Amino acid sequence: MGNTCGTTLDSFSKEDGDLDILQKYTDLMQASIGEESIYMRAKDTYSVIFKDLQITESEKAKIVSESVNTIIATLSATAMQTSLQWAKDERDGAYSLAKVKADTDLAIAQAAKVAEEICLAEKQTEKVCADITATIAGSIRDNGSVATYDADSSCTPTALNDEGLKYQQTLLVASDTYSKYADAFRKSGVVDILTDAGDNTLKGMSGDDAGYTWQQSENAERQRIAYEDSKRTHAANSAASMIGQMLTAEVDTNADDVNRWRKAVDFLLEDYVTTPAAGNSPCNLS
């Protein structure tokens, strides 16, 4: 027989339970009435006793008969009992030895099992300690070390030191927020956060004159005015050239041409406006 763990167990065999006592009984009875047996010595003893006693033959026969019957009955019973015990011991001896050996093997196996269980318990304890160490290390890495604990519970932290990944992530988020604020200020200056009446949404409604977005608007306006000034200058130069040529050729100048030239020059000399009034477009030279 074997088991699933690979350990081979001794095989067993089935024995017949019958007891062979006849030969043993015969041998015991023959030994009991042999030449050196108690039976033969009893007969010799009777012979000696009978020589000194004045008894009849019938009395001798009676004494011998009773004694022999008693001895034979005792020897027979003893031989039978001994034969039974002898046969039983022969039959059960191998089983008893095998059982003792099996019990010894079982005790050894149980001792080995206990040793393995103790080793397993130690390994499990080591694993629990390793898991606790890993958990603590992971908590310190993520959250930082504990600064203080709750007075009523030694396992409940109430404050952490400023360290760990999450603390650094918090600083990174704050830094990113400040960066966005700084970028917004650089672009738009101080922005007024108000609720837009049009869509009832909180948003940046207006900024001051500090950001480069406002400066870009100013630059665009300057470019527009420069473009308008360039057109006026070109018109004034053209009108002046034409008037000069007419004067050189002694041709009467057209009053309308002179007025357009004067308007262009006057416009260039005046302060510019970002939004010309209606009917006063820089392009209107009439």
Amino acid (one-letter) located at 251:
V
The two tokens of residue 239 are 């009108």
Q: Rounded to an integer, what distance in angstroms lies between the CA atom of residue 192 and that of residue 199?
A: 17
What DSSP letter does each residue of 108-128 carry, written as one string?
Answer: HHHHHHHHHHHHHHHHHHHHH
Are residue 202 and residue 258 in the same domain, yes or no?
A: no
Task: Give pTM, 2 decimals.
Answer: 0.34
Q: What is the pLDDT of residues 1-13, one digit of tens each?
A: 444 445 554 554 5
Number of H helices, E strands in the chain: 6, 4
Same domain for 106 and 72: yes
Buried b (16+ CB within 10 A) or exposed e, 64-87: eeeeeeebeeebeeebeeebeebb
Both 249 and 216 in one domain: the answer is yes
Residues 221 and 282 occupy one common structural domain? yes
Residues 184 and 106: their CA atoms lie apart, in Å, by 83
Is residue 131, in this structure, part of any structural domain at all?
A: no
Q: What does the pLDDT read at residue 25?
A: 67
Residue 155 pLDDT greater than 70, yes or no = yes
pLDDT at 141 exceeding the cut of 80: yes
| Domain interval for residue 79 | 22-110
Q: What is the pLDDT of residue 1?
A: 42
At residue 83, the pLDDT reads 76
Kindly tell me the sign of the dihedral angle through the C-alpha atoms of 40, 46, 51, 55.
negative
- 178: amino acid identity, one letter: Y
Residues 6+ apart with CB under 8 A from 185: 191, 210, 211
**Contact in structure between 211 and 189 (CB atoms under 8 Å):** yes
For residues 129 and 123, what is the distance between their CA atoms, to the nearest angstrom?
Answer: 10
| Cα–Cα–Cα angle for 83, 88, 91, rounded to 5 degrees | 125
233 CA to centre of own chain? 82
Identify whether residues 282 and 222 lie together within a single domain. yes
What crossing angle do the helices spanning 165-188 and 57-143 adopt, rounded to 10°? 20
Mean pLDDT, all residues of the chain: 75
Please check whether residues 205 and 278 belong to one and the same domain: no
Residues 205 and 228 in one domain: no
pLDDT in tens, 245-254: 777 777 776 7
What is the rounded average pLDDT of the residues 187-197? 77
pLDDT score at 270: 67
Same domain flag for 226 and 197: no
Whether residue 285 has pLDDT greater than 60: no
pLDDT (mean) for 177-184: 80
149 domain residue, yes or no: no
If one counts the domains in the chain, the total is 3
The average pLDDT across 84-94 equals 75
Q: Say which range, 14-23, 122-131, 208-217, 276-285, has the weakest mean pLDDT.
A: 276-285
- Could you tell me if residue 141 is inside a domain? no
- Asked if residue 139 belongs to a domain, the reply is no
